[in-house]
Structure 1
């Protein structure tokens, strides 16, 4: 019996040793990978890395790799994909309200969107599930999520998990005029930056933005990746522009209904369900909610910082004529032939 116990003990010890060695090797390989990648000083961190064709904070690389390896998409899943400050908070709210309208009436006093920020109801895959992990185990249990599961992501299309691309899950993507996106990012990131870091000047941030050095950027590559897929697979990816959604929200909300395969009924139309969802998710409504005036999201981002102006063309109050000319030329070059354009006047 002693011999058997010794054998079991030896096997267990050897197994742990092999696992530790594999873990050490993986850790070594990851560190080598990080050191081999191009780096720049980021907007709110000194450690900004060019990984798989886009820029991101170095601490997100491991979570993104884990997400790519482990995430198993379901055909019923819905993914809200955006660049930061492109209408993410709004699109998450609309998608949640539309998808869950049978469970929660938009007129209900206890609707989840009245009690929680939309980022809490539609969590980011790379941040909320894989970014705050221990040994690669997601902090949140996806198996307990109500279906259809709704996720958010800022990751470019080419770097999404293979299971997302191969499944029948739906992706709703929204982009925004890079002029407004840049200004909104610059203001937002200066609010949330660590106190020990100096404020990033508009001029410094603009030069990096023009070089493509921005979160999950270059901006134009991110937009074109999802645009290309929406053209190739229109039933897979719905491509929206923030400006279009603002200018005719009723029309585009109905497009989202149709795309998700949950078109509104005649009864819902006569009952003004669409209009009520639009009102529930409006910028004015969400900004005025107590839940969005105080408290923080992950990484201590104050919720109130996610609601500034939501205006089209606010960039004219910040960018000089020479800046407008420079970014206009870059966009014209990068988006040439794509059919995608934005106003710069």
Structure 2
């Protein structure tokens, strides 16, 4: 896939020089770009995002590895940032728009007429709320050097893989990039998955959250499931808009509005589409911890466990793989 712009020929040469692997889902290939596997369908958007996006200090970014609870965190972040504008929640945008529409991924959005889109972004109501799947080292320089806040969510690798498998399998057909779950698992273990390796992605934001806790808030999907009230307070405090005691009801309303069951049952998420290609219902499958046990063989469990133990060794980072309930 060619990148477009004034340096189109140079970009084409750069792509041809990149290591690549066969993709799956909607991506024909994964290219090893800046030390991560970039889906071929995202290369142009990633290039434009890095080259043209200018961060503002009050921007808020939701960052994640795909299928880690991103939709939920987008909804929570959007609702918290805008809680003063929609106090009753009766006419809240989340009731009629999917979270991915309200908090766009910039590496997917910045394609086509980039100049026009950059101008629109510059005139958005502040604070602007965006999302990205890019690893931390590959974020635009303006993001890394500004005072923007990044909220990162990750999920245990077992459930992340299974959720990704179900989601990306939707886009497979016999005539395109169809692979078995066993093949997909081997690629995941080798780090060959969109925006992977998983461990590099997670560790990049984990280390940054330790070095710059005022810039990166690191969350785990499993922790949110276990105590959502505590972590919604953390998010609000991190964003500089803490809930006071009198606003406890507002916080509880936001938690209910953004809950899996509520979001899944909304008309827009039952029948709507994202980017005209993905049915919104596919963003809401189970939302459970531990569903991976229904898909993993003993040998798969052993293999991935050893890899994750090795990759995360010494980092202080660990994950719950099953629900405590």
Name the TM-score class by shorter chain.
Answer: over 0.9
Aligned residue among 50, 54, 63 for 2:36: 54
Aligned residue among 104, 116, 131 for 1:123: 104
Q: Which deviates more from structure 2 when the two are superposed, residues 166-175 or residues 26-35?
A: 26-35
Which residue number in structure 2 is paired with residue 109 of structure 1?
90
Aligned residue among 212, 222, 241 for 1:262: 241
User: For 1:161-209, what per-residue CA distance to the aligned partner results, in whole angstroms no more than 9, with x for missing partners?
Assistant: 1111111110000000010000000011011235631532110000000
Aligned residue among 42, 48, 51 for 1:69: 51
Which residue number in structure 2 is paired with residue 245 of structure 1?
224
**Closer/same/farther in 2, CA of residues 219 and 139 from structure 1, 3 Å limit:** same
**Closer/same/farther in 2, CA of residues 53 and 101 from structure 1, 3 Å limit:** same
**Closer/same/farther in 2, CA of residues 168 and 177 from structure 1, 3 Å limit:** same
Aligned residue among 6, 12, 16 for 1:35: 16
Which residue number in structure 2 is paired with residue 281 of structure 1?
258
**Structure 2 matches for 1:92-107, cutoff 5 A?**
92-105=74-87, 107=88
Aligned residue among 98, 121, 134 for 1:155: 134
**Structure 2 matches for 1:196-215, cutoff 5 A?**
196-197=175-176, 199-215=178-194
Cα distance between partner residues in 2 of 1:59 and 1:287? 27
User: For 1:88-127, what per-residue CA distance to the aligned partner results, in whole angstroms no more than 9, with x for missing partners?
Assistant: 000000000000000012x422110001000001011111
Instruction: Say if 1:328 and 1:344, in contact at 8 Å, map to a contact too.
Output: no
CA-CA distance at 1:344 after TM superposition: 4.7
Cα distance between partner residues in 2 of 1:260 and 1:313? 30
Q: Does 1:216 align with 2:173?
A: no
Which residue number in structure 1 is paired with residue 65 of structure 2?
83
User: For 1:274-307, what per-residue CA distance to the aligned partner results, in whole angstroms no more than 9, with x for missing partners?
Assistant: 1111000000000000000012112601110000
**Closer/same/farther in 2, CA of residues 120 and 135 from structure 1, 3 Å limit:** closer
Cα distance between partner residues in 2 of 1:89 and 1:238? 17
Normalising by structure 1, what TM-score? 0.89
Q: Please say which structure displays the higher CA radius of gyration.
A: 1
Cα distance between partner residues in 1 of 2:263 and 2:9? 45
Normalising by structure 2, what TM-score? 0.94
Which residue number in structure 2 is paired with residue 14 of structure 1?
none
Instruction: Say if 2:159 and 2:321, in contact at 8 Å, map to a contact too.
Output: no
Q: Which deviates more from structure 2 when the two are superposed, residues 329-338 or residues 38-47?
A: 38-47
State the 4+ residue runs in structure 1 displaced beyond 6 angstroms.
none
Q: Which deviates more from structure 2 when the two are superposed, residues 189-198 or residues 231-240?
A: 189-198
Instruction: Say if 2:48 and 2:114, in contact at 8 Å, map to a contact too.
Output: no
Which residue number in structure 1 is paired with residue 122 of structure 2?
143
Q: Which runs of 5+ in 1 are unaligned?
A: 1-21
**Closer/same/farther in 2, CA of residues 280 and 297 from structure 1, 3 Å limit:** same
Aligned residue among 289, 303, 309 for 2:286: 309
RMSD: 1.7
